């Protein structure tokens, strides 16, 4: 028995390690709807669907394991499922369920070495934020950390392993998503150490009703996209930049485009020199330079998903189209039958 166990271990160690190249090197993940069914797609750099996996309900974002051909698809918040997908076979390897009394909140990310999956979660009755930790060998629940805010949404791992958390500040009804605390909401952006200890945090005291929702990295800066919950009589910025240790910068749109986003940024993507936010409500994509100066606004109905490529930006819309975007405009990349959901996730 010992010899057989040893030989089995040796064979496992010598077996070839499969990576993303073995499943066609997908460039993006995107959740979408086809007819009445929901799927997670692995997309090529040119927008073609390399594989699609059925989901039990509407998907939101996804996370890619840094080395193994595994993806985790997250339900739209408040969610009760996160599916670990073997992208080589197209089969669901694990279905994650939040602990009793908790809900997934649409996003997650892996640790640097891929040993941990971290999930954005809330305590259902209070919307108190938690970061769930899962061991990725068997996807067992280990523990959870406080997110240090209400209603965390996107979480983003920095290259050095620290974790940025967008605490949206909105307390919601656990069943019907009714917003319960708009007059008193206090969103924040929190930076956690690799062990979950809080390192830094910012709030926007003059814009407390600007819910911090989505994140992207632009060099040392964290770009954060916001959704305005207050009076829409005057425009407010939907993009901010924060370099931990300094004050945040709010990125004002040009005067002629002040209302283009209609108070709602659905996604954000960033390179070293450009930052882009999208608005499905406004049917717009707005580009800024690395300092936060507004450069251009492009129009397309129901634009939301946004990700970076070595050449710039790729966007998706709810009508099945995929676009490239730069300062000059939008260029068609691909079309299909899927109605793309809110996010396009780059495998980088």
pLDDT of 11-59, one tens digit each?
Answer: 444 445 767 676 667 899 999 999 999 999 999 999 999 888 999 999 9
> How confident is the model at residue 139, as a pLDDT?
96
More confident residue, 75 or 22: 75
Least confident of 190-199, 229-238, 287-296, 312-321: 229-238
Residue 88 pLDDT: 84
Residues with Cβ < 8 Å from 342, sequence gap 6 or more?
31, 60, 61, 266, 267, 280, 304, 305
Better-predicted residue by pLDDT, 331 or 5? 331
Higher pLDDT, 200 or 23: 200
Output the CATH code of domain 18-259.
2.130.10.10
Better pLDDT: 195 or 174:
195
Q: What's the average model confidence in pLDDT over 81-88? A: 90
Q: What are phi and psi of 255, to 5 degrees?
A: -60, -40
Measure the CA–CA gap between 120 and 144, rounded to whole angstroms.
10
Tell me if 330 sits within 8 A of 317, measured CB to CB: no
Per-residue pLDDT for 324 more than 80? Answer: yes
Tell whether the model's pLDDT for residue 114 goes beyond 60.
yes
């Amino acid at each position: 028995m010992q010899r057989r166990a040893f030989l089995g271990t040796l064979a496992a160690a010598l077996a070839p390690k499969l990576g993303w190249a073995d499943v066609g090197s997908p460039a993006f993940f995107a959740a979408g709807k086809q007819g009445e069914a929901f799927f997670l797609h692995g997309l090529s750099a040119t927008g073609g669907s390399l594989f699609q996996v059925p989901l039990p309900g509407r998907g939101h974002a996804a996370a890619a394991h840094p080395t193994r051909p595994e993806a985790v698809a997250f339900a739209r918040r408040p969610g009760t499922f996160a599916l670990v997908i073997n992208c080589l076979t197209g089969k669901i390897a694990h279905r994650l369920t939040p602990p009793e009394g908790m809900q997934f909140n649409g996003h997650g990310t892996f640790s640097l070495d891929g040993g941990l999956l971290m999930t954005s979660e809330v305590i259902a009755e209070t919307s108190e934020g938690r970061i769930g930790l899962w061991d990725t060998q068997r996807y067992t629940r280990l523990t959870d950390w406080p997110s240090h805010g209400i209603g965390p949404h996107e979480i983003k791992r920095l290259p050095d392993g620290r974790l940025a958390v967008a605490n949206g500040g909105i307390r919601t009804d656990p069943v019907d998503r009714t917003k319960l605390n708009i007059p008193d909401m206090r969103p924040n952006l929190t930076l956690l150490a690799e062990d979950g200890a809080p390192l830094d945090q910012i709030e926007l005291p003059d814009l407390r009703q600007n819910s911090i929702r989505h994140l992207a990295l632009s060099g040392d800066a964290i770009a954060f996209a916001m959704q305005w919950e207050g009076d829409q009589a005057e425009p407010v910025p939907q993009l901010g930049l924060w370099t931990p240790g300094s004050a945040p910068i709010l990125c004002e749109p040009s005067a002629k485009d002040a209302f283009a986003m209609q108070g709602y940024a659905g996604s954000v993507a960033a390179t070293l020199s450009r930052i882009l936010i999208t608005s499905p409500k406004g049917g717009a994509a707005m580009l800024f330079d690395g300092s936060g100066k507004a450069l251009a606004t492009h129009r397309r109905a129901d634009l939301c998903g946004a990700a970076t490529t070595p050449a710039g930006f790729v966007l998706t819309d709810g009508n099945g189209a995929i676009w490239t975007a730069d300062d000059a405009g939008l260029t068609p990349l691909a079309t299909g039958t899927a109605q793309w959901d809110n996010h396009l996730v780059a495998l980088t």
